[in-house]
Amino acid sequence: MAPGNAPEGPAGGRVVVAVARFNEAVSRRLLDGASAMLAEHGYGHDRVDVMWVAGAFELPVALDRALASGRYDLAVALGAIVRGETPHFDVLAHETTRGLGAVALRRSIPVGFGVLTCDTLEQALARAGGSAGNKGAEAAEAAVATRRALERLGGDAAT
């Protein structure tokens, strides 16, 4: 979508983007993609708050607190969980996903899911602006599209 033809975000609406610092080289690229996509949809940098957290596991609680404030129309969660030699990967991937889904349902506010779960750092980098696109941009676009779908249903999506 050309920036000149971008639909506006909700009047006065704000976005919170929570970003995991662990695997920061990947997370920063995801953030770049998400920020560009949000800007295309009318959410300029003055309407986007970025919140850094330690790792993917901390994303749900951070977003839950941010969304409880009532300041945000949508959220995006970004991070990368790279498989290691232990089952830790599976636990983190499952609990982060479950937690973010619970936050979206509890708050009735879209949470774009941009948490990569990859076998290698190379796979993660490919999905963070490399040969496989930018999943941060895709997560932001999904959150915006979901917000619009909720608005079409009527009523206040945040109640």
Share of the chain above pLDDT 70, in %: 89
Please name the residues in contact with 2: beta carbons below 8 A apart, sequence gap of 6 or more.
none
Per-residue confidence (pLDDT) for residue 156, from 0 to 100: 57
Instruction: Express each pLDDT in 73-123 by its tens digit.
Output: 999 999 999 999 888 999 999 999 999 999 999 999 999 999 999 999 999
- What pLDDT, on the 0 to 100 scale, is given for residue 7? 43
Q: What is the pLDDT of residue 159?
A: 42
| Model pLDDT, residue 86 | 87
Q: What is the DSSP string of 114-128?
A: EEEEESSHHHHHHTE
The residue annotated as part of the active site, out of 41, 45, 88, 94, is 88
pLDDT one-digit tens code per residue, 3-59:
333 344 454 589 999 999 999 999 999 999 999 999 999 999 999 999 999 999 999
The pLDDT value given to residue 1: 36
**Listing from the earlier edge strand, what are the strands of the sheet with 74-82?**
48-53, 15-20, 74-82, 111-118
Q: Is residue 45 annotated as a catalytic residue, yes or no?
A: no
SS3 108: coil
pLDDT average, residue stretch 63-82: 97
Q: Please say if the pLDDT value at position 149 is more than 90.
A: yes
User: Is 50 exceeded by the pLDDT of residue 125?
Assistant: yes
Q: Domains along the chain?
A: 14-46+56-151 (3.40.50.960)
Q: Work out the average pLDDT over 121-145.
A: 97
Residue 154 pLDDT > 90, yes or no? no
